[in-house]
Structure 1
Amino acid sequence: MIIAGIDEAGRGPCFGPMVVSIVVIDTKNESELKSIGVKDSKEILPKKRESLLLKVKEKTLEHQTIILEVKEINSLMVKYSLNEIEAMKIAELINNLDEEVEKVFVDSPDSIPKKFEERIRKYLNKDKQKIKIISENKADSKYVVVGAASIIAKVTRDKEIEKICEKFGDIGSGYPSDPYTKKFLAEYVEKNGKLPPFSRIFWKTCEVALEQKGTTQQKLF
């Protein structure tokens, strides 16, 4: 059976892009992925994730990745929720598949996974509606095919963050709880009176940083 797994990286950070990846495999190869150590990327150290990346890609029938840049996130969030945006991008990946996939396993950000499946289906092309979608919480730790997608998404996003750090210095991971991220944000806003250009302006962390400086939210366009 041909199946696919989908996962994202960078959903929660206030800095940087969100990355969504899809991996397509034959179920006969699931054991091979497990044997090389494929699992939820959060359970794998960074160097190990990088070493697994090429191996994962080699064992897939197809893989695709969407890098959702901050500018697009900010623009879409004027109208849509983050769950809706993620569902759109997941549907885009499924619609672009060349392989005939029977099932797609998705790591649901919604506490009611069925609702997230319904969101995805709204954006699927007619010829993809026959695909069975298994939307579950923590699917990246339950299904190796989703774990494989999580590795590609995570390594891809880490490289995007590295590019930002090369230009702006250490911004941390981009997550609001990261002390390096909080320090960078506070210092940048204090010095420049505005958010860094890679900020998600609707995140509470960014809004608070501007409020503390006494600055209004930046315009999108």
Structure 2
Amino acid sequence: MNIIAGIDEAGRGPLIGDMFMVIVVMEENKLPLLRELGVKDSKKLSKNQRERIFPYILSNSLIVSAARATPQQIDNENLNVIELRMACKLIKTVSRFYTINTIYMDAFSNPNELKNVISRTCNTPEHNLVIKYNADSEFLIVGAASIVAKILRDNYIAILKRIYGEIGSGYPSDYRTIQWVERYLRKYGEIPPIVRKSWRTVRRMLSQL
């Protein structure tokens, strides 16, 4: 039985909320099913399409595991270091249960350097790693991981909206997000705890106080 895994994240760029990273472990012979379901990079799918595919990914996987990083962690540490630690945690977690023949991963920095670092840090042979930019578009198993990560992130944002009201998408390009942060800052005199204070957009707001 050839077992493969895909790793991807959601929420690296937003200024609001946690970042999620997911690993999906599956028998390689399930790939035709993923293709039939229309699995691809989550950014190329609608919310309804992602939600339709999501339960099939879960039911056909051997393991699905997730890790998350809070705004406070992201503010206090290099983002690439955080992602490396999350990836290692996920790889080590699933490797306790299955011997994975190949791990496919969407690169968040130079793929060759990243492969070397992950091999050493996560105690994983380099020949078992396939790390590329845009891997979520090239490899179905990474596309599956990107869908799960996006669903987790979207559900998390929905919870934040129930607590804080309309916060937009959480991205600095979303005027609803910027307006909400600015209103909160004017009202309470501080940046909301769910916001990444190290982001340039937020630092600019603070400098204008």
Query: What TM bracket, shorter-length normalisation?
Result: over 0.9
Matched, 1:184 2:180: yes
Deviation at 1:147, TM superposition (A): 0.3
Number of residue pairs aligned between Structure 1 and Structure 2: 206
Deviation at 1:201, TM superposition (A): 1.5
Among all aligned residue pairs of Structure 1 and Structure 2, give the percentage whose two residues are the same amino acid: 35
Counterpart CA distance in 2 for 1:199 and 1:157 is 15
Unaligned residue ranges in structure 1 (runs of 5+): 214-221
Matched, 1:41 2:19: no
Counterpart CA distance in 1 for 2:171 and 2:113 is 26
Counterpart CA distance in 2 for 1:181 and 1:45 is 21
Deviations 1:124-177 (A, max 9, x none): 14xx44661111000000000000000000000011111111011111111111
Counterpart CA distance in 2 for 1:138 and 1:168 is 33
Show the counterpart of 2:153. Answer: 157
Matched, 1:95 2:92: yes
Deviation at 1:189, TM superposition (A): 1.1
- Equivalent position SS for 2:48: helix
Unaligned residue ranges in structure 2 (runs of 5+): none
Counterpart CA distance in 2 for 1:108 and 1:64 is 18
Counterpart CA distance in 2 for 1:60 and 1:212 is 49
Show the counterpart of 1:52. Answer: 53
Show the counterpart of 1:107. Answer: 106
- Kindly indicate whether the alpha-carbon contact (under 8 Å) linking 1:104 and 1:131 is maintained by their aligned counterparts in 2: no
Deviation at 1:16, TM superposition (A): 0.3
Instruction: Please report the TM-score for the alignment, with normalisation by the length of structure 2.
Output: 0.94
Show the counterpart of 1:209. Answer: 205
- Kindly indicate whether the alpha-carbon contact (under 8 Å) linking 2:115 and 2:126 is maintained by their aligned counterparts in 1: no
- Kindly indicate whether the alpha-carbon contact (under 8 Å) linking 2:106 and 2:136 is maintained by their aligned counterparts in 1: yes
2:121 alignment partner AA: Y
- Equivalent position SS for 2:108: coil
Instruction: Please report the TM-score for the alignment, with normalisation by the length of structure 1.
Output: 0.89
- Kindly indicate whether the alpha-carbon contact (under 8 Å) linking 1:102 and 1:131 is maintained by their aligned counterparts in 2: no
Deviations 1:21-71 (A, max 9, x none): 000111111010110111110011012211211111111111101122223
Counterpart CA distance in 2 for 1:3 and 1:89 is 18
| Correspondence for 1:124 among 100, 122, 125 | 122
Counterpart CA distance in 2 for 1:30 and 1:147 is 11
Counterpart CA distance in 2 for 1:178 and 1:39 is 25
Show the counterpart of 2:142. Answer: 146
- Kindly indicate whether the alpha-carbon contact (under 8 Å) linking 1:16 and 1:200 is maintained by their aligned counterparts in 2: yes
Q: Label 1:102 to 1:169 Cα distance change in 2 as closer, same or farther (>3 A).
A: same
Q: Relative to total residues, which structure has the larger helix share, 1 or 2?
A: 2
